[in-house]
Structure 1
Amino acid sequence: MIDSSARKNVETKKYNGYLSFLPPSDTISQEESPLTIHIDQASQNHYRKYHNRDFCWFEFKHALTDQPYPFKIETKDNYLWILIQLLGSGKIEITPTLYVKDGIVYCYYAPNRTKALSLDPGKNWFFLLGIAEHHWPDLAAEYPLLQDIGKLETTDGMEHKQLVGQTAIQAKLMAALDSLRRFEFRSFSLSFRLAAWNLRLFNLVFQELKAPEKPQEDTLITLYHKATNYIRENFREEELCVKMIANAMHVSVRKLYSSFENRRFSVMGYVQELRLVLARNILTDSQETIASIAFVCHFSSDKHFSRLFKKRFGKGPNEYRIAIQGNISFKYKR
């Protein structure tokens, strides 16, 4: 058990993060804050924050208990955030949920003004810089990767992912953070000095930022739907083959095959299915010969066609036509 005096010493231990030149937030006289931290009382001495009308700076450094540690950041404006995860891991509730780990810089934004974060147990240390929305157009003009920030709606009504990009923490970035230790708290000049420091940070982060890669699973799902659409539009073409489809999708044959794994049909199996359905439709209301239909639908021979048709629909082509055109009850296999 820690006695009350020891606990008091722990709680009043001097903050030693990069923003250690800042006094505790409740001792700083500022205009109405655009940034509110919802955090438990025991952790009040484990973070520092500062703001002006353009930016918010926030740092948290603490060894947490054996339970995940949730807290919220509430703002009065939308912000583009640069999160430098120095130690520990956790998650941020954006779309989709952003799981963060140490040694990485993340750039993200969120349309809602209350940001829920959760830190994993253990040592945690992160530095967070928020850039107010009225600066976004100017940033986007200078850094092309930021051109889509704030454009939440797509043509199909779905939201864009809110992670703009990420990059590893480099030595130059650590040097920039270390330079903050030479700052002094001066109520008039501090905002100007921090804003100038931001420019250095922007160049170090935004020029190295890499757009998030789509998960492999999402990529294959998208490819599958694009490929099936293409096949539906072109299955009547005799020369249609796997290589032709892959070239049209601008992917390798192997990747195209992967997108059809665990699906009902293979690539050419789907082509064959559409051609069999077309043949069935022709049989329904025509007197075309079986050989003619097999030729029109690009089967190698009438015998091959008849064998595949019977396997798919339960009756051979002639039997099927007699059943349908003779109004005989018939159900094909699904």
Structure 2
Amino acid sequence: MFAAAYIDLQKKILPADKPIRGARLSFLPLQHHYSNEDGFEGIYIEFDEFVLLELKQSVTGGGQRLDLMTEHVAFWQLYQFMGNSDIYLPHNLPLSDNRCISFSSQVSKISLILRPTRQWIILIGYKKNFTSDLLKEFPMLGSLVFGADADHSTWYWEPDISINHSLREVWKRIERTIYFPFRGKAELLLHVCRLLDEYCKQLDKQSDQSERSMLGLYHKALAYINDNLLDSINKEMVAEGLNVSLRTLTRAFENRPIKIVDYIQRLKLNHARDLLYEGEMSIEAISNLLNYPNRKYFSREFKKYFFQSPSIFKKEMEFFKVQGEDDES
């Protein structure tokens, strides 16, 4: 079962009645294949040194949330082969397909949201008990564990990188693993070490000072947008608030998973959905609060992102609340 000490999928987890096909970890025995009560499937295995979780399935509705627990895990790696996800560190870092990111936190959990689309991700959580030995071989990962150069923050991450040919070749070798009861664990551990080796090589290639400077500005911009979401935020305002030129700010978002205008729009609509769920404000009031020109424009953008109008979403939430109150009574 998915260990609550490492991963919380928010739903009841059930053993799969047949192996999940077409995934990187499909070679693992049936006892490592699961689904939650919504039918969302995953493959999970735990070792002394790390845990592995693979999810490959379409996500519908408002998305799928899981929490990565940090008490026993030094840092996490996320391989996003397909789809879009948001990691909250503490503001959301968007990740698109064919990207990999490493991250950690001193808080109790890290929330991950899988967006409504076809998703294919693999999470690797490296346990704290083996951190010392791990860093002897991969010292570049030290900032994830000890927070070096992180301004005493409780959140750490390395730049997201492309899942290049070398990393894909390692994953293909993993796919072809014949999992024997004893030798299989040793082979999988060796493959994960190869992944780390290739990951560190690529990280080193893009870790020059200019890239890190642009990455820092990118994260500062994301945080600034979160803090000033209700103040008619736009990219010109962000540039002025961070005391950089608009051109420099635009460069910071080049080759990132999301552009600054799209990020502002996504954040506003997510906030609008939360307010609609709470049910204390009208659609008109929410539209005004988030500085949309009018309700019609707001409704069109909301439907474009969530595939239903705000009025329908609001009615559905009211119905579910009433139904929940009836069930409790």
Q: TM-score, normalised by structure 1?
A: 0.53
Q: Report what 2:97 is aligned to.
A: 102
> SS state of the match for residue 39, structure 2?
helix
User: Displacement of 1:11 after TM fit?
Assistant: 8.7
> SS state of the match for residue 216, structure 2?
coil
8 Å Cα contact 1:23-1:48 kept in structure 2: no
Q: 1: distance between equivalents of 2:28 and 2:19?
A: 15
Q: 2: distance between equivalents of 1:119 and 1:155?
A: 27
> SS state of the match for residue 117, structure 1?
strand
Q: Report what 1:174 is aligned to.
A: 168
Question: Please, which of 81, 87, 98 is the counterpart of residue 82 of structure 2?
Answer: 87
8 Å Cα contact 1:87-1:124 kept in structure 2: yes
8 Å Cα contact 1:72-1:114 kept in structure 2: yes
Alpha carbons of structure 1 residues 151 and 95: separation in structure 2 relative to 1, 3 Å: farther
User: Displacement of 1:136 after TM fit?
Assistant: 2.8
8 Å Cα contact 1:88-1:123 kept in structure 2: yes
Q: Report what 1:198 is aligned to.
A: 192
Question: Please, which of 243, 246, 249 is the counterpart of residue 259 of structure 1?
Answer: 243
Q: Report what 1:284 is aligned to.
A: none
Q: Report what 1:15 is aligned to.
A: 21
> SS state of the match for residue 146, structure 1?
helix
CA-to-aligned-CA distance 1:195-224 (integer Å, 9 cap, x gap): 1111211111011114551125849x9xxx
Q: Report what 1:322 is aligned to.
A: none
User: Displacement of 1:25 after TM fit?
Assistant: 4.2
Question: Please, which of 47, 61, 65 is the counterpart of residue 60 of structure 2?
Answer: 65
Return the letter of the residue paired with 2:37: Q
User: Displacement of 1:20 after TM fit?
Assistant: 0.1
8 Å Cα contact 1:96-1:162 kept in structure 2: no
> SS state of the match for residue 29, structure 2?
coil
Q: 1: distance between equivalents of 2:180 and 2:118?
A: 30
Q: 1: distance between equivalents of 2:142 and 2:70?
A: 23
8 Å Cα contact 1:136-1:149 kept in structure 2: no
Q: Report what 2:10 is aligned to.
A: none
8 Å Cα contact 1:25-1:48 kept in structure 2: no
User: Displacement of 1:13 after TM fit?
Assistant: 7.6
CA-to-aligned-CA distance 1:158-197 (integer Å, 9 cap, x gap): 4154112321111121111111222123222222111111
Q: Report what 2:127 is aligned to.
A: 132
Indicate the structure (1 or 2) with the bigger Cα radius of gyration.
1
> SS state of the match for residue 182, structure 2?
coil
> SS state of the match for residue 177, structure 1?
helix
Identity %: 18
Aligned length: 206
Alpha carbons of structure 1 residues 96 and 133: separation in structure 2 relative to 1, 3 Å: farther
Unaligned runs of 5+ in 1: 1-9, 28-36, 222-254, 262-334
Alpha carbons of structure 1 residues 205 and 132: separation in structure 2 relative to 1, 3 Å: same
Alpha carbons of structure 1 residues 138 and 96: separation in structure 2 relative to 1, 3 Å: farther
Q: 2: distance between equivalents of 1:83 and 1:155?
A: 20
Q: 2: distance between equivalents of 1:170 and 1:73?
A: 25
User: Does residue 1:150 correspond to 2:145, yes or no?
Assistant: yes
Return the letter of the residue paired with 1:165: P
Q: Report what 2:253 is aligned to.
A: none
Q: 2: distance between equivalents of 1:26 and 1:53?
A: 16
User: Displacement of 1:126 after TM fit?
Assistant: 0.8
8 Å Cα contact 1:96-1:161 kept in structure 2: no
Report 1:279-290 matches (<5 A): none
Computed over aligned residues only, the root mean square deviation of the Cα atoms, in angstroms, reads 3.6
User: Displacement of 1:99 after TM fit?
Assistant: 1.6
Return the letter of the residue paired with 2:38: A
Report 1:1-334 matches (<5 A): 14-25=20-31, 40-43=36-39, 46-74=41-69, 77-152=72-147, 158-159=152-153, 161-209=155-203, 210=206, 213-215=215-217, 218=220, 259=243
Q: 2: distance between equivalents of 1:22 and 1:260?
A: 50
Q: 1: distance between equivalents of 2:244 and 2:70?
A: 45
> SS state of the match for residue 38, structure 2?
helix
Q: 2: distance between equivalents of 1:155 and 1:99?
A: 20
Q: TM-score, normalised by structure 2?
A: 0.53
